[in-house]
A = this chain, B = another copy of it.
Amino acid sequence: MSRRVGPRRPTQVEIAQRAGVSQATVSLVLSERADTTVSEETRRRVEQAIDDLGYAVNPAARALRGMTVKTIGVYTFESVFPVDQRDFYHPFLLGVEEEAARLGYDLLLFTSANTTRQGVYAKGRNALLKADGCVLLGRHISRDDLARLAREGFPFVFIGRRNIEGVDLSYVAPDYVAPTAGLVEELVALGHRRILLLRQTDGAEPGEDRHSGFLQGARAAGLSEDDLVVEYSSGAQDVDTGRVAGWIRAGITAVLVEPSEDNATGSALADAAEVAGVRIPDDLSVAFLGSAPGPTATRIWTSFELPRVEIGRSAVQMLVRLLDGDADPPLQLLVPCTDIRGNSISRAVRR
């Protein structure tokens, strides 16, 4: 950490001297608080001196006094200016930037932490303190870091749901439960009985939520537990022709797929079905519990869309509420998803 360069900037003391007042008075003039009493004449003289000397408040000194600096940190493992526009995280950041700008906050990107893959507590010291508070983003943020941050009382909001024992976590996340339940009910209304949920093996909260929605929708639609099948996949290679054929033999007529990070599971399923001679949706209805693989000429996947920009915005709003002391953690918000009506589900065939 080297020494700052350049000439010294004017301070309140110098303003005070030039205006013939005390430093305290200068500070009073600058803090445009309502309950302050400075005569019009004094105020004028101070402001004149400020203009003359080109004074600018020193943010470090302000921060040291315990003031906020109007800076929101953004911590993410992924690159922040992603090369791929279609990057999953990009829309979140869009919302974060938009809302931060609207509320008058600057954005501090912890890019250095990305290279030194050390997590929040790089070098054993918290890197986030340069900001008033922080929006955390990304699958790869360690639960331990989150827990420690929360315990230390650092104000932050996580994007995505996380449940950590004994820790009060603030987060904004998409609601997977309701739309998943809705899809199950819709499938049942279309005559489906044996429905498969294909989960990711990571065991993370999004998977749990989808599972809850699955069960909840089934209950609401009056399905018996026996009709529900849950299987796991750890990636595209797990979904092959044999497996799809097996589903058909087992009488399964509809599959709900939890998307994998790269959406490869979805594509693999489509390919396997084609090879197996299983037509979608005629022989098998398929829907994605989240973002689907991109649409093709003939196929629009039934799925739902996460309101990512909106989530980014909400996270900033929530963080600012925490910073303003208008609320205490945990603040938790689930944002509804938008259904995408595709052509990958249809009325169940009787076999």
Residues of A whose CB lies within 8 Å of any CB of B are: 1-7, 9, 31, 50-51, 54-64, 66-71, 79-81, 83, 85, 90, 93-94, 97, 100-102, 104-116, 124-127, 129-130, 132, 148, 152-155, 322-325
| B110 engages A106 (CB within 8 Å) | yes
Are B109 and A107 in touch, CB under 8 angstroms?
A: yes
- Among residues of B, the one whose C-beta sits closest to the C-beta of A132 is B4
Q: Assuming A54-B148, A130-B69, is B112 touching A106 (CB within 8 A)?
A: yes
CB proximity of A69 to chain B, nearest CB, Å = 6
Chain B residues with CB below 8 A from A50, complex form: 124
Given contacts A81-B93, A104-B115, contact A60 B58 (CB under 8 A): no
Of B9, B94, B152, B323, the contact of A9 (CB 8 Å cutoff): B152
Say yes or no: A112 contacts B108, CB within 8 Å.
no
A115 in contact with B130 (CB, 8 Å): no
**Residues of chain B with a CB closer than 8 A to A64's CB:** 58, 60-61, 64
Q: Do the beta carbons of B106 and A5 come within 8 Å of each other?
A: no
Indicate if the CB atoms of B94 and A152 lie closer than 8 Å: no
30 A–B contact pairs at CB < 8 A?
Answer: A2-B68, A2-B323, A2-B324, A3-B68, A5-B153, A5-B322, A6-B155, A9-B129, A9-B152, A54-B152, A56-B125, A56-B126, A59-B129, A60-B60, A60-B61, A64-B64, A69-B130, A70-B112, A71-B108, A81-B94, A100-B111, A101-B115, A104-B116, A105-B112, A106-B109, A106-B111, A106-B113, A107-B111, A108-B108, A109-B109
Q: Which residues of B contact A101 (CB under 8 A)?
A: 111-112, 114-115
Minimum CB distance partner of A148 in chain B:
B54
Chain B residues lying within 8 Å of A5, measured Cβ to Cβ, are 153, 155, 322-323, 325
Query: Among B60, B61, B67, B106, which residue has its beta carbon within 8 angstroms of that of A108?
Result: B106
Residues on B with C-beta less than 8 A from A93 are 81
In the assembly, what is the distance between CA of A148 and CA of B104, in Å?
23
Closest to A60 in B: B63
A124 to B53, CA, bound (A): 11
A113 to B100, CA, bound (A): 11
- Closest B residue to A312 by beta carbon equals B81
Residue of B nearest to A111 (CB): B101
Closest to A115 in B: B101
The residue on B at minimum CB distance from A152 is B54
